[in-house]
Chain A
């Protein structure tokens, strides 16, 4: 199977490149779709060999499913990885919305299911469940979604969080390839991994070094599910240039360190296992010669980055592939330019290395 590379969709207000939580979420602009620049970004992603674009979910963003519907109508082949969480919508409604979207964009949609990371934000929506209960509810939510996608008759379900009686929908999931969407289950906790195994198609977690991932991946692969990583890329012609770009990323920030304080304040309120774990990893700036945590405490946990020359970045991605990782959701800075550079310089190198990897695996 070829590795699949996705990118995080450009959000409103991000066209100038760097947006940290401090300069981003406090601005109204992140709440507004920016169709002009986002469509441009989608088309560039299509041209750069990117498979899908992650559309974030959160109270500071537009609704991801509807944003995907809007952008999907203006694009041809890019897929949308819609982030979603239980506790906002009943599962029947959600399936109806997602299936409708699939029918409008010919199946160019998959899901990145998150459990939520901020109790404060969950309360905005009337959701008061604790971390482990949210996973239990997500499990029920997805079991009901699957029952609709299997489409074998009226759906009945009586669980702890949901009760459905005789559920029917006339709008199926439409895709040339699948009867239900790819389901990425995001989260670093054991609960997240077990939901990925029981209900998902892929376990999506924040990156760590290949060594640290080595033990957590095999149970997922053994269950015939995929493993994906959420991380960032800083690739330049030489390692020196890449490291300089990484450091410039931080140098460009508000000298008052407002970004760092804001991120720290966000962390205090978060009950996400993986976000907290990645924040802790960032005690150390380099986890190995190419895995850099320098931006985690200002730009958020997904800013854990592969930093290096095009060749080094491609090799690092192959290191993960050798563990069994098959998909990546990437970010970079400046947002558009890094994606273009990745498509032009890194991706061809990855494909070349990958074909060798397949040869050795098949030998």
Chain B
């Protein structure tokens, strides 16, 4: 099969926060620092990042408002705006997304999330359970896509939404698309099914590459790409990377650990809680020689990290590509130096080897026993 191009995105969630995830959500500052965000976006543009993730949560500024403002002050970067069903009419969401596309010439894509904390959902007036939320999201995306893909009035009658002759004058404006690219996050079977039906790409959390390959087979066969949300700690040598990782843990300390335990108790996200359990229960901090879970109990599920020298992190990324992963959403502590190191040192290595490699069928992995022993 023909290989897809690899694409790299970066999370913008930690702008203004040194240790993303170390503080409880309630303690975070929700006032956006415009200058810091613009600076981050411009650095991401310079580093060839495809899009920046603007996350959703009660403790944050609204992601789509932030994206429309930042879009006016930037030129190339795309905004991956997190959205949830259950907080607005799908028609209203399409109108907002299309408005941003018109203001930014199509520089918006969506990260559809199911929600992860019933307490938080109730603060928005949403009382559905985990599985019902996915059923509603299914309807929500069906309506949205009818606006983007159809060319007549939208009619829909489901369990959650009833739209009659829906029409909007604001189209999705982009050079090459009639609707936004849709990413969908999750690790539950419902999320995988929904991604296969509606999304261009599934975001999921890393596992051992061979395990991930098995889990994502059905999604890939549906034609939906798979991407992973993973942190990155890369330095010239493995020793320096390990020492950076250790000093980070020492700095964030036990309060962060309690924050994550508290969060896990109230979350019903399969992706977040299962990753935390994996990190807490596993006997080693290393899933592979470069995939490190020790920060997860402190900084949350997205802190599962590729750690090592530039060559090692390159290998780690390539292993995921062999499992069928073609997109990456990175985080770093702090983000910008990590983004620069990725751009200058890791990306060229990854692309050279990915392009040189033979076409790979999904799920075949070359396990390097020697590398595994070294850990």
- Residues facing A in B108-138 (CB within 8 A) are 119, 122-127
B18 proximal to A (CB < 8 A)? no
Point out the residues of chain B lying under 8 angstroms from A72, CB to CB.
69
Whether B88 and A69, one on each chain, are in contact in the complex, defined by CB atoms closer than 8 angstroms, is no
A171 proximal to B (CB < 8 A)? yes
Chain B residue at smallest Cβ distance from A59: B168
Interface string of B79-100 (1 = CB under 8 A from A): 0000000111111100110111
Whether B103 and A70, one on each chain, are in contact in the complex, defined by CB atoms closer than 8 angstroms, is yes
Point out the residues of chain B lying under 8 angstroms from A277, CB to CB.
none
B167 proximal to A (CB < 8 A)? yes
- Residues facing B in A84-116 (CB within 8 A) are 87-93, 96-97, 99-101, 103-104
Whether A126 and B162, one on each chain, are in contact in the complex, defined by CB atoms closer than 8 angstroms, is yes
Interface string of A56-86 (1 = CB under 8 A from B): 0001111101110110111000000000000
Whether B102 and A62, one on each chain, are in contact in the complex, defined by CB atoms closer than 8 angstroms, is yes
Point out the residues of chain B lying under 8 angstroms from A174, CB to CB.
31
Nearest-CB distance from B35 to chain A (Å)? Answer: 11
Bound Cα distance from A40 to B4, whole angstroms: 44
Point out the residues of chain B lying under 8 angstroms from A167, CB to CB.
58, 122-125
Bound Cα distance from A105 to B223, whole angstroms: 42
Point out the residues of chain B lying under 8 angstroms from A128, CB to CB.
162
Whether B60 and A170, one on each chain, are in contact in the complex, defined by CB atoms closer than 8 angstroms, is yes
Whether A125 and B125, one on each chain, are in contact in the complex, defined by CB atoms closer than 8 angstroms, is no
Set B98, B125, B167: member contacting A92, Cβ < 8 A: B125
Whether B99 and A66, one on each chain, are in contact in the complex, defined by CB atoms closer than 8 angstroms, is yes
Whether A93 and B95, one on each chain, are in contact in the complex, defined by CB atoms closer than 8 angstroms, is no
Whether B62 and A96, one on each chain, are in contact in the complex, defined by CB atoms closer than 8 angstroms, is yes
Bound Cα distance from A90 to B121, whole angstroms: 11
Q: Which of A65, A73, A100 has the most CB of B within 10 A?
A: A100
Whether B89 and A163, one on each chain, are in contact in the complex, defined by CB atoms closer than 8 angstroms, is no
B68 proximal to A (CB < 8 A)? yes
Point out the residues of chain A lying under 8 angstroms from B126, CB to CB.
90
- Residues facing A in B149-172 (CB within 8 A) are 154, 161-171
* 9 nearest A-B residue pairs (beta carbon): A31-B169, A170-B30, A171-B30, A167-B123, A123-B164, A165-B122, A31-B170, A124-B166, A89-B88
Interface residues of A (CB under 8 A from B): 25, 28, 30-33, 35, 59-63, 65-67, 69-70, 72-74, 87-93, 96-97, 99-101, 103-104, 120, 123-128, 154-155, 162-172, 174
Known pairs A164-B123, A168-B58; list 17 more (Cβ under 8 Å): A32-B102, A32-B169, A59-B168, A61-B169, A65-B96, A66-B96, A70-B72, A88-B88, A90-B124, A92-B124, A96-B61, A123-B165, A125-B91, A125-B92, A126-B162, A164-B125, A171-B61
